[in-house]
Amino acid sequence: MALTWARALSWRLGRQLLDPVGAAGTSVVDVVGRLGSVPAWPATAAEHGVAARRAGGRVGDVAEAFAAGEVVTVYAFGGATHVMTPQDAGAYLAVRASSRMWALRSWVVHYGLAPDDWPAFRRYVRDALADGPLTRSELLDAFARSRRYRHLRPLLADGNDTLLKPLSWHGDIGFAPGRDGEAAYQRLDAVPGWAGVPDADAGAARVLDHYLRVHGPAPLERAGAWLGQGLGARRRDVVRWLAALEPRVVRLDVEGVEVAVLAEDVDDLRAARAAPAGSSVALLPGRDPWVTAPGTDDPRVVPPAHRSAISRNGNPVLHRGVVAGTWTLKGEALRVTWFEGSGRVPRSGLDEAAARLGAAVGREVGVDVQGA
């Protein structure tokens, strides 16, 4: 039987715990570990994205897991914050750090830190956090107490966290639960289960493996973009990492598109069946990995005519893996805008997804479909 995109997306839905949804007992750590990374901002996006993949998931579960040290929040893709497991984060951070942005002349001039100054600077920050988390203002106060680093305080006082991001990429600091209305930071090696940051080659191999297992089957250039456009890796490094991956992948044809899948997943993928019509509806938050990993320009996932709505962080409604509309929730009113060309509204599947969302936010919601 020829492999179609309907079957491939059905397989991907299963890999991402969207169809079937993760069974009772599936934890926040299970979901985050499966996806690799989940956008941490806005907090509601992380909560909704994880809850959509867990039977009985509730908004607030991610915050509880974070407070318990079961997941970490770090600067990663695009300089934004992401939730990851302590075991997986280091691989993504290794790739992010490979760009060595702190060595750019513009950084050196602006912050007064040469590349050779960073080992001592990193050590100073780790020592400042040795007794526990610090709020942002407390960390800036620690800079002010140092003759060497006091010049950094006014550069960060306006809320610009650019200088702090490489500290996260190196695996030195991550976010801690906020205090007194401020962001706070902690040493990542103080988090239980922290696995450290491997070298860039090992990290890239792990990230690419993860990408194909969860976001595949996919053209290898899509996986490369996950490292390059997403994690800021240099093109020459991405080319080398993809070449190193080649012996482990099998090339397949999906409706005229050449895709790659890990060799050990080929049989499972070939056994996949397309989701039945009218089933497999999911209500996801904007910037969910379902759309950001392949990219909003992937026409198999996001219809080109409606790309702008999703690129503006619209909350996607998935039907059988394809973005078929957007949704908003205000109070008890769930408004779904169904895209023209998406076919008949799958009412039973949509009602099930709405019930799951209502359970997650702790209230019954009524569905109002527009544009159908």
What pLDDT is attached to residue 291?
96
Q: Do domains 71-190 and 199-270 have the same CATH topology?
A: yes
pTM: 0.95
Instruction: Quote the CA–CA distance of 134 and 128 in Å, as a whole number.
Output: 8
What pLDDT is attached to residue 159?
83
Q: Where are the domains of the chain?
A: 71-190, 199-270, 281-370
What pLDDT is attached to residue 372?
61
The CATH-assigned architecture of domain 71-190 is Orthogonal Bundle (1.10)
pLDDT averaged over 10-residue windows placed end to end, the chain, 372 residues: 92 96 95 96 93 95 97 93 98 97 96 97 98 96 96 90 96 96 96 97 97 97 95 96 96 96 96 84 96 96 94 93 96 95 93 94 93 70
What pLDDT is attached to residue 1?
64
φ, ψ for residue 172 (rounded to 5)? -85, -45
CATH number of 199-270: 1.10.10
Q: Please say whether the beta carbons of 328 and 294 come within 8 A.
A: no
What pLDDT is attached to residue 276?
79
